[in-house]
């Protein structure tokens, strides 16, 4: 049992992209979305990388995505992700983040990925990285299909709530824990721990970090896990899924899917 943990945001903190948007072409190839959605998704990806997806936009995108995936078969979503995820994100892991994960493990801390993306995507990425636990968004699945209801949205203060609940369950003192993220929307996540770090921060988070004396880290070297480790890591125990459970992603860029459904 570990007495502390390191909490990592995923997109633009561990990987140099949006984990959700990276899957757009795969869902298109599987016939789940159309070409127009892929093009709009590419634009949304640019907006996301420019740091323009604030809390209001993220909430709207969450709701639009929930409507868009209503009726999707959960097994088909899992199959598409299992087929393509490694090839899509393998070259996009920040070497600096992978080194930090290794150093926290060496220090005896558990590593928890905390992401507004869903566990269908976050869980496999966490396993590739050798992380111990996941907190992610989730939607309701009934009779094998997504209902469109959002059961838990791992965003903003909800991330911090999940971290506190997990810490209480595991006996971790959050004052001894670490957190890493790129976005000002994750201020509650950073405020919850004793060792907060701003990674590739957006402008708002950079201002907060400077005002509060938080260290700012620059991750600039995406690498392939195969190249870095010589093999794809396999955890020596099953990944512990956090409070959020298994879910489809509610993340930036997928508004286009909802627009397409409404147009159709």
**Per-residue model confidence (pLDDT) at position 176:** 97
Joined together, the tokens standing for residue 77 give 């979503």
pLDDT in 10s for each residue of the chain, 264 residues = 689 999 999 988 998 866 655 555 656 555 555 444 444 444 344 344 444 455 665 556 555 566 566 666 777 776 767 666 666 667 788 999 999 999 999 999 999 999 988 778 888 888 888 899 999 988 788 888 878 777 788 888 999 999 999 999 999 999 999 999 999 999 999 999 999 999 999 999 999 999 999 999 999 998 887 777 655 444 444 454 443 333 333 332 233 333 333 343
Joined together, the tokens standing for residue 116 give 């507004």
User: CA-CA distance, 10 to 111, in Å (whole number)?
Assistant: 12
Specify whether 64 is catalytic: no
Range of the domain at 103: 5-263
Contact between 183 and 51 (Cβ < 8 Å): yes
Specify whether 143 is catalytic: no
**Is 0.85 topped by the overall pTM?**
no
Instruction: Residue 110: name the closest of 98, 101, 122, 120 by CA.
Output: 101
Question: Which residues, in sequence order, are bridge partners of residue 240?
Answer: 133
| 234 to 35, 60, 229: CA distances (angstroms) | 35, 36, 11
User: CA-CA distance, 261 to 146, in Å (whole number)?
Assistant: 15
Other Cβ atoms within 10 Å of 33 Cβ, number: 24
User: CA-CA distance, 46 to 260, in Å (whole number)?
Assistant: 19
Q: Which of 3, 9, 59, 182 is catalytic?
A: 9
30-39 long-range contacts, CB within 8 A, separation 24+ = 30/76, 30/80, 32/72, 32/76, 32/77, 32/80, 33/257, 33/260, 34/260, 36/256, 36/260, 37/256, 37/257, 37/260, 39/256
Q: Which of 3, 11, 119, 202 is catalytic?
A: 11
Number of H helices, E strands in the chain: 11, 10
Q: How many domains does the chain have?
A: 1
CATH number where 157 lies: 3.40.50.1000
């Amino acid at each position: 049992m570990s007495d502390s943990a390191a909490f990592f945001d995923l997109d633009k903190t561990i990987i140099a992209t949006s984990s959700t948007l990276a899957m757009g072409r795969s869902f298109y190839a599987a016939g789940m979305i159309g070409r127009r959605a892929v093009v709009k998704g590419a634009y949304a990806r640019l907006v996301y990388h420019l740091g323009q997806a604030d809390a209001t936009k993220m909430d709207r995108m969450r709701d639009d995505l929930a409507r868009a995936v209503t009726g999707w078969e959960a097994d088909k979503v899992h199959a598409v992700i299992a087929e393509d995820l490694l090839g899509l994100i393998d070259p996009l892991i920040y070497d600096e983040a992978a080194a930090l994960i290794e150093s926290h493990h060496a220090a005896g801390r558990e590593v928890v990925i905390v992401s507004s993306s869903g566990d269908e995507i976050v869980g496999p990425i966490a396993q590739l990285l050798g992380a111990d636990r996941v907190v992610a968004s989730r939607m309701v699945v009934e009779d094998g299909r997504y209902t469109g209801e959002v059961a838990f949205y791992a965003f903003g203060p909800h991330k911090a709530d999940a971290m506190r609940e997990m810490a209480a369950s595991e006996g971790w003192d959050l004052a001894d824990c670490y957190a890493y993220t790129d976005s000002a929307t994750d201020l509650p996540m950073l405020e919850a721990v004793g060792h907060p770090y701003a990674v590739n921060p957006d402008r708002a988070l950079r201002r907060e970090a400077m005002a509060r004396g938080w260290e700012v880290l620059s991750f600039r070297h995406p690498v392939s896990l195969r190249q870095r480790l010589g093999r794809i890591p396999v955890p020596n125990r099953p990944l512990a899924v956090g409070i959020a459970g298994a879910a489809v992603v509610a993340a930036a860029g997928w508004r286009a899917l909802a627009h397409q459904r409404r147009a159709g």
